[in-house]
A and B are shown apart, each in its own frame.
Chain A
């Protein structure tokens, strides 16, 4: 399960960044991946669609959101927690 989530999140980020999933490392930040604010909003939408969860994210203050977007790894962990909480 955990690995499935990680693969899916990486695939979503890779598509948004127009990269191969193998180029998306777990410690990469959104800036490293070249994903801007509009891209982030689209990424959040894609994650919600893929996992059928609601992501608490406000584009006005991304850093204040409960959804930790610091790195790929924190996003994967956040998604796993949301899946567990919303089941």
Chain B
């Protein structure tokens, strides 16, 4: 079977404007969550989030480009630019048709929708900018990445709420394995930090007003973030032949559906996804040293996830480490799995395990080594990353250190 490796990565999120800054913040346990700043934030009961600071679109894009780029597209383009540069990929005519883009997002161009709904409903305007549709469509980010880098192969968007990025990266893996592409830019992007985006989430009563504390007995909900991460997935022989940097191998992937409840997670659905990913990677539970948890900081997710890990890993559950970096960058919804994959790369190539910050008090329902508050050094061969979405859709990836 064709094998797939990661040859480049890029990111922008509350922890940094690139992958190196993101890694540094994860190592140091930096909290990227703070007071939200946008129009009408005073009318929200939730006023914190992992917002990207000091971001000026005009530093990165021209005026004409910005008329077409919603923020979620801008983030994806910046992350892709960084990933492609690191990979040293040269897209010639032959590669162009063998290279594609698969990105996750849940809200797509939500900022564009929010601004224009405000304009027509609240301000009573009867005219909107002609590019509202090409800005807000969910595939805008994937299409612009494809256009910018001239990638003419399979290109599409995956929308499975909080699992979008993991599903997207699983699709990228399978496209290359199946021989439908040799290179796929993949990951995800989200920009939901606007009045309508947060107002909708308030309704569910699952958001914390004071912070994201996954696995902690005092946890009281999730906190949103924004940003993107993009990776270059590349067929292994091709990457080796051109001497590309190989950050990790994408060894396994599995996806399941709970087929049960639209919001409550199912332990069995999560277990099946984790077992499936191990099986696909040809690994035993004992091979995994670190799990990047879905770890949203809600009562239900963290308890269910820990119970599922115990079931899948048995006695080894007490030896592995599991952390939720959402405590630092917030929950990027459709982009979250992509940013979290950076913690997995860091575990494999630097031997540094990102912590779960804000942890104060042990919860007997989450009695695993959650790497509280401080990063830890450890060497390992394999890591796992979980995403369990609303809608009961689960997607789990396994990465291994390059052989």
- Inter-subunit contact B127/A42 (CB<8 Å): no
Q: Tell yes or no: B67 within 8 A of A by CB.
A: yes
Near A by CB (< 8 A), chain B positions 112-166 give 127, 129-131
Q: Interface residues of A: mostly helix, strand, loop or mixed?
A: helix
Q: Measured between alpha carbons, how far is A41 from B131 in the docked complex, in Å?
A: 9
Q: Which of A20-28, A44-52, A60-68, A71-79 contacts B (4 or more CB under 8 A)?
A: A44-52
- Inter-subunit contact B127/A49 (CB<8 Å): yes
Question: Nearest Cβ in chain B — how far from A19, in angstroms?
Answer: 13
- Inter-subunit contact B67/A48 (CB<8 Å): no
What chain B residues lie within 8 Å of A49 (beta carbons)? 127
What chain A residues lie within 8 Å of B127 (beta carbons)? 45, 48-49
Cross-chain pair count, CB within 8 angstroms: 14
B56-79 contact mask (Cβ, 8 Å, vs A): 1 or 0: 000000001001000000000000
What chain B residues lie within 8 Å of A48 (beta carbons)? 127
Near A by CB (< 8 A), chain B positions 341-357 give none
Q: Measured between alpha carbons, how far is A86 from B207 in the docked complex, in Å?
A: 50
Task: Output the nearest chain B residue to A15 by Cβ-Cβ distance.
Answer: B63
What chain B residues lie within 8 Å of A41 (beta carbons)? 130
Q: Measured between alpha carbons, how far is A45 from B127 in the docked complex, in Å?
A: 8
Question: Nearest Cβ in chain A — how far from B120, in angstroms?
Answer: 14
What chain B residues lie within 8 Å of A45 (beta carbons)? 127, 129-130
The residue that B131 contacts in the complex, of A18, A42, A44, with Cβ under 8 A, is A42
What chain A residues lie within 8 Å of B129 (beta carbons)? 42, 45
Question: Nearest Cβ in chain B — how far from A39, in angstroms?
Answer: 9
Question: Nearest Cβ in chain A — how far from B131, in angstroms?
Answer: 7
What chain B residues lie within 8 Å of A18 (beta carbons)? 64
* Known contacts A38-B130, A41-B130, A42-B67, then 11 further A-B pairs from the complex at CB < 8 Å, ordered by chain A residue: A18-B64, A38-B131, A42-B129, A42-B130, A42-B131, A44-B130, A45-B127, A45-B129, A45-B130, A48-B127, A49-B127
B interface residues, Cβ below 8 angstroms from A: 64, 67, 127, 129-131
A interface residues, Cβ below 8 angstroms from B: 18, 38, 41-42, 44-45, 48-49
Nearest 10 Cβ contacts at the A-B interface: A41-B130, A45-B130, A42-B130, A48-B127, A45-B129, A49-B127, A42-B67, A45-B127, A42-B131, A44-B130
